[in-house]
Structure 1
């Protein structure tokens, strides 16, 4: 066994153990609950734009993008634009790596790799900041409900011609809405890639934890995923990534499409 193989083996052993460690999992959920109550998730930026994500999930997304090497990332939910900028910067990293490996140069303004963002309300100041950002040339935004027929048709048309596609669902977190998003966009995910459903953790919080929001225990992204998955066996939950992060807003939400 090479040193690299030994390192990978030891990691797999740890992740398996984490998945069976009830105390560690309970502590992780407790920290997530306490930090969510204190709005910790609102504290971070990515390349100058607020990003409403946990650092652990940002790292997890980076690993998925590097592993899958998508040509297109589709995101529902834009807010301040930090997640779009994160995705665009990771795609820029892939382009740079491709150029280095090929011994060529690239014009980042003409990159084929893109991010599509969808939101029902793209506020003017957020749109202006995103469009002024150095990553703007990689980003295309659509305003409208992510599950409206017109919006879905626009996204599907814009997604034509891309080889490897990844999808992030992070808009309205009610069961019905997420289920409709899965039906609308998960089919665009290419074999071996991922559909990441954010905020499935809502089902693990105390009832009425989000008292000012329409989602709750029993009505949230996790319940939608659990209803949707049995009819879509081509997707499986990536438990290894979930166990690796431990603190994540997407338990049971990292859905990998089978490569075959």
Structure 2
């Protein structure tokens, strides 16, 4: 029997009182124990958080993009995930996955007919040109995710490369902004989080933060990194 969400929330509060630190502590536990390295989609490594992956499929279902841009292929598990979700949505689409090396790319991912794997730096001008071509072939919204080199300079270069090719309503996720003490790996040095801050200082009106999505599951590999193009 269906129950009112307010009733179940009140019931749970009678038995548990949050201290507010649980999401951060869980993020540290998940990251530091390398659980993300054992997280797979259809048997192929994704190196992501299951909470984020669930959130991403909800965003894709709502956004209904025609083109997905992934910077950082690795094993190809996440590229498979995007393609599987998009086929369920049922509209024409393409996944463009870019990585400087394909040495880790699994054959199962490489065979997917809806994914185009490109071996290149994700900050190379030819990548921007390919995105422009695909936008013409697959008109509609774009969903982009940055998950390659996590240094601040590289992520900032990726964001600037995407600036002229993303349009109003497109969605950008900057992953692994939890590095450099946000809240994990405080010794990392300036990374994705700092890249977002630097980009916003230069282009303050480009994006709106989707904070509801960011905080939906309490924690994310992408704090401050759920962005909607204005």
**TM range, smaller chain:** 0.7 to 0.9
Distance 1:70 1:138 in 2: 14
1:56-205 counterparts in 2 under 5 A?
Answer: 56-95=51-90, 112-123=92-103, 126=105, 128-132=107-111, 136-161=112-137, 162-203=139-180, 204=182, 205=184
- Alpha-carbon shift at residue 42 of structure 1 (Å): 1.4
Question: Unaligned regions of 5+ residues in structure 2, if any?
Answer: 7-16
- Alpha-carbon shift at residue 153 of structure 1 (Å): 2.6
Distance 1:256 1:180 in 2: 18
Question: Unaligned regions of 5+ residues in structure 1, if any?
Answer: 11-20, 99-111, 209-215
Residue 13 of structure 2 corresponds to none
Secondary structure of 2:143's aligned partner: strand
- Deviating beyond 6 angstroms after TM superposition, the runs of 4 or more aligned structure 1 residues are none
Residue 215 of structure 2 corresponds to 243
Does structure 2 retain, via aligned residues, the 8 Å contact 1:35–1:41?
yes
Distance 1:23 1:238 in 2: 24
Distance 2:56 2:29 in 1: 23
Tell me the C-alpha RMSD between the 2 structures: 2.4
- Alpha-carbon shift at residue 238 of structure 1 (Å): 1.0
- Alpha-carbon shift at residue 190 of structure 1 (Å): 3.4
Structure with more helix by fraction: 1
- Alpha-carbon shift at residue 127 of structure 1 (Å): 5.0
Residue 43 of structure 1 corresponds to 38
Distance 1:237 1:200 in 2: 14
Distance 2:99 2:197 in 1: 24
Secondary structure of 2:227's aligned partner: strand
1:54 aligns with 2:49: yes
Residue 233 of structure 1 corresponds to 205
How many positions carry a matched residue from both structures?
Answer: 216
